[in-house]
Chains A and B, each alone.
Chain A
Amino acid sequence: MLMNETRLEELLLAYEDNTLRSDELTEFKHLLRSSPAARERLVEAGVLQSVAKSHFFIEAAAAQLPTKQNRLFQWRPLMAAAAGIVLGMFCTSVVFGYVGPRVVEKVKAVFSEGFESGMTKTAPGVPRVAGQWSGDEAEVVTSTPEVKAHGGAKMLRFLSATYPGENSPRSQWGDVYRIVDVRGLAGAGSTVARVSASFAQGVVTGEERFACRVGAYALDQDLSTLPSSLNHTWLQQNNSATGSRRAVLTGTGRWQEVSVELPITRETRFVVLHLAVVQEQPTLNSGVVQFSGHFMDDVKVELITRP
Chain B
Amino acid sequence: MTPDPNPNNGAMDDDALDQQVRTFLAARPLIQAHIGSLVRDAALAEDVFQEVWIRFERVTRRGEIVANVPAWCRAAARLVALESWRRQGREQATEDEELAALVEQAYEDQDVQAEIWGARSAALKHCLDLLPDRSRDLVTRRYRDGQPLAEIADQLSQSLGSVKTAMCRLRLALAECVRKRLASNPACS
Contacts and interface: CB of A to CB of B under 8 A. Distances in A.
A18 B93 contact: yes
Contact of B53 (A39, A86, A237): A86
A48 B171 contact: yes
Contacts of A172: 150-151, 154
A49 B143 contact: yes
B125 A91 contact: no
Interface in B75-93: 88-90, 93
Is the contact region of chain A dominated by helix, strand, or loop, or is it mixed?
A: helix
Given A44-B175, A91-B46, A78 B34 contact: no
Interface string B24-50: 110011101110110011110110011
A52 B160 CA distance: 22
Nearest to A50: B32
Contacts of A205: none
A76 B167 contact: no
Contacts, number: 192
Interface string B13-24: 010011001101
Interface residues of B, number: 74
B89 A48 contact: no
B40 A53 contact: no
B43 A246 contact: yes
Interface of B: 14, 17-18, 21-22, 24-25, 28-30, 32-34, 36-37, 40-43, 45-46, 49-50, 53-54, 57, 60-61, 88-90, 93, 96, 98-99, 102-103, 105-107, 109-110, 117, 120-121, 124-125, 128, 137, 139-146, 148-151, 154-157, 159-160, 164, 167-168, 171-172, 174-175
17 contacts: A9-B171, A13-B164, A29-B96, A44-B120, A47-B30, A50-B33, A51-B121, A51-B125, A56-B140, A89-B49, A98-B54, A169-B157, A172-B151, A173-B151, A280-B148, A283-B150, A283-B160
